[in-house]
Structure 1
């Protein structure tokens, strides 16, 4: 497996949400002591958060470097058993840290996780859905939830805050093996011109996982005006693509998506361009990776992003700066190209190509259809009809055939869009088209001539029939006529002539009809 140092655009860590555990219950009481100290020094006040819930908050913000945080106290999810047998809620202590520009946040919550009745606490919870440790033990559960803060492990600021609260003596009691990662997201913002390539790569990922017969994978498509509003793929089998996923215990997701009203923004504005995001996916409810694996998980996510960027051939100037993502900040990583994915795809598509070659070689319609589709990689029915001269009914027949060969797919939206299954399929089809063009000496003029003949033929079919002729068709057996391609039905119960010669001779019976036209 080849490894080399790669200069990678630094992804923005959009979200990181994890729980860590300290196995000394005294930490909780030390946090209470810190609360009492700051409350006495600065005073406190009752405030409401964005959801309308009340908190008691220290009046004066506390600074950590250039950032400041609010120290809060609220009723928590643990309960205390009273002497009369009743229960009262314990308090939780939380810290809400914000950057100076108020665009990044870092939230920390301290709550007790203590065996039943020990230290007067109970394991009874208000909604009966507590965060469950791997085993019951005494200590303090600490939740850390960051938005747009980038740290190597997410722990740097937590350690600084422990010092400010004078509880850093408990730091060595941290049990990373007891903690879990609930959310971890990284993204880059890239120029729109790479969007179709990114979409093709996500489609390739889905295809490879499907070939491997995995039980858990999901793809979501939402397309509008040739743009991906959301295109996501998730699976616990990224090892089949050549990435480390801890034998299926880690589940990842990849998505490209846009702002809902991206059309309102100019091309030089960030929201006019899409994002590529890789994130941890919850494979099954309540199943999360260990916090001790964070660095390894982060490296895998960097590898996924780096490989997608490499496959899409995004250049250094192909990124778009936004409020959180810096398009000029690069890092060096030890890059491993995930070759397994395209090796499997290559074998799969090569197995289909002989049939595609045979169809295109023997049928000009299929050749012209794929020849024009291969220029841009995607078209709608109107554009294909304009370029080839085919009617929409015939385009549908060609499309169904190519779909059955796994060559193209239809994206259903306001207008059905036809595109190749992936960029790799398009490249293979292009090579077949070039080979047939050379062997049969097909020129652009030949295709234009075929197009004109198709348009003329379609015009001849649209001859308006008289009432007498409509009645004759009905008497002749409409179903049979339609079956052998002489007429087809149009609006209002009328029939359109597909074979102009039919009205010239007017066959006398079914046998003559089938003999002459069937």
Structure 2
């Protein structure tokens, strides 16, 4: 007998990759100055044929040597429907005493290059492959193994499954139970939006999963939600149906533990999110 299993997928993922060498930032400057003729129409292509638009803009930090705003370098790609996307911003870190564009002094502890990544439907290994491809394109492969994993942080990570809308009452009933239990234990934030009797969004931040007898290793939130135009779609269209998503609550994690998780903890977070998601689905009962 063939058994079907629901397999979670990563949705949104955000990380700060830290390279403890300011020369990587200078490599981006050098490439831009010598290779970009049209600042509105320059692309770098990765190994899968994805064309990342590449441009620069003044950032929010001043170069301490010139007191001028340091430029940031951006690479951005999205698929034809805008569901899968990847946005990368390369920024300099000038260390203690750095001034912002408004003159405020930041006590940044690091000197190096910060690579901020925000993406959808990309795993960490996908991001690292793209990083390697970009380095190859700009002639900076010497930095291929320079990411400091212990000082690179994850600020967003979500895993979800899509389920049939016939199960929505049970899912939302469970989430309401979690919300009610969390309200009696302390703070809780709730977003509840209903469209034509169906839940556009039911999101709980700062939840306690004790009522479901679930323990997690990291701090997570949960939501059931739909695509914006779901009412225009037929029941046979998968995009009409809601998703149950669990995601890292990085701000609360930082408040409790003093810092965001590192990318060394990526697989631990992924397993923790999947375990939470499976437990919630099991709590609801058979679901498709």
Quickly name the TM-score band, shorter chain normalised: 0.7 to 0.9
Between stretches 148-157 and 193-202, larger displacement belongs to 148-157
Residues 313, 176 of structure 1: alpha-carbon distance in 2 compared, 3 angstrom cutoff: same
Distance, in Å, in 2 between the alignment partners of 1:261 and 1:228 is 12
- Higher strand share goes to which structure? 2
Residue among 15, 28, 37 paired with 1:18? 15
Q: Is residue 46–residue 134 contact of structure 2 (8 Å, CA) maintained in 1? A: no
1:428-487, Cα deviation, whole Å (9 max, x unpaired) = xxxxxxxxxxxxxxxxxxxxxxxxxxxxxxxxxxxxxxxxxxxxxxxxxxxxxxxxxxxx
Residues 196, 170 of structure 1: alpha-carbon distance in 2 compared, 3 angstrom cutoff: same
- Is 1:108 the equivalent of 2:76? no
Residues 174, 206 of structure 1: alpha-carbon distance in 2 compared, 3 angstrom cutoff: same
Higher relative contact order by CA 8 Å / sep ≥ 6: 1 or 2? Answer: 2
Q: Is residue 76–residue 88 contact of structure 2 (8 Å, CA) maintained in 1? A: yes
- Is 1:257 the equivalent of 2:225? yes
- Is 1:35 the equivalent of 2:15? no
Distance, in Å, in 2 between the alignment partners of 1:186 and 1:132 is 34
- Is 1:160 the equivalent of 2:133? yes
Aligned residue in 2 for 1:429:
none
Deviation at 1:194, TM superposition (A): 0.7
- Is 1:296 the equivalent of 2:274? no
Residue among 49, 61, 64 paired with 1:78? 61
The residue correspondences of 1:29-428 to structure 2 (distance < 5 A) are 29-39=26-36, 43-45=37-39, 47=40, 58=42, 60-81=43-64, 87-99=67-79, 103-116=83-96, 123-126=98-101, 136-152=109-125, 154-209=127-182, 213=185, 215-223=186-194, 226-235=197-206, 237-238=208-209, 241-245=213-217, 250-259=218-227, 262-281=230-249, 282-283=251-252, 288-315=260-287, 318=288
SS of the aligned residue for 2:131 comes to helix
Deviation at 1:170, TM superposition (A): 1.9
Distance, in Å, in 2 between the alignment partners of 1:179 and 1:104 is 23
- Higher helix share goes to which structure? 1
1:170-206, Cα deviation, whole Å (9 max, x unpaired) = 2333222222222212222211111111112223333
Distance, in Å, in 2 between the alignment partners of 1:127 and 1:181 is 28
What TM-score does the superposition give when structure 1 sets the normalisation length?
Answer: 0.48
Distance, in Å, in 1 between the alignment partners of 2:246 and 2:178 is 13
Deviation at 1:81, TM superposition (A): 4.2
Distance, in Å, in 1 between the alignment partners of 2:26 and 2:228 is 47
Deviation at 1:300, TM superposition (A): 0.9
Deviation at 1:21, TM superposition (A): 0.7
Q: Is residue 236–residue 251 contact of structure 1 (8 Å, CA) maintained in 2? A: no
SS of the aligned residue for 1:177 comes to helix
SS of the aligned residue for 1:137 comes to strand
Residues 229, 65 of structure 1: alpha-carbon distance in 2 compared, 3 angstrom cutoff: closer
Residues 132, 269 of structure 1: alpha-carbon distance in 2 compared, 3 angstrom cutoff: farther
Aligned residue in 2 for 1:467:
none
SS of the aligned residue for 1:173 comes to coil
Residues 99, 194 of structure 1: alpha-carbon distance in 2 compared, 3 angstrom cutoff: same
Between stretches 285-294 and 182-191, larger displacement belongs to 285-294
Q: Is residue 64–residue 161 contact of structure 1 (8 Å, CA) maintained in 2? A: no
SS of the aligned residue for 1:311 comes to helix
Task: Please report the RMSD computed on the Cα atoms of aligned residues, expressed in angstroms.
Answer: 3.2
Distance, in Å, in 1 between the alignment partners of 2:105 and 2:149 is 19
Q: Is residue 214–residue 279 contact of structure 2 (8 Å, CA) maintained in 1? A: no
Aligned residue in 2 for 1:363:
none
Residues 162, 314 of structure 1: alpha-carbon distance in 2 compared, 3 angstrom cutoff: farther
Consecutive unaligned residues of structure 2, counting only runs of 5 or more, are none
Deviation at 1:284, TM superposition (A): 7.7
Distance, in Å, in 1 between the alignment partners of 2:165 and 2:19 is 46
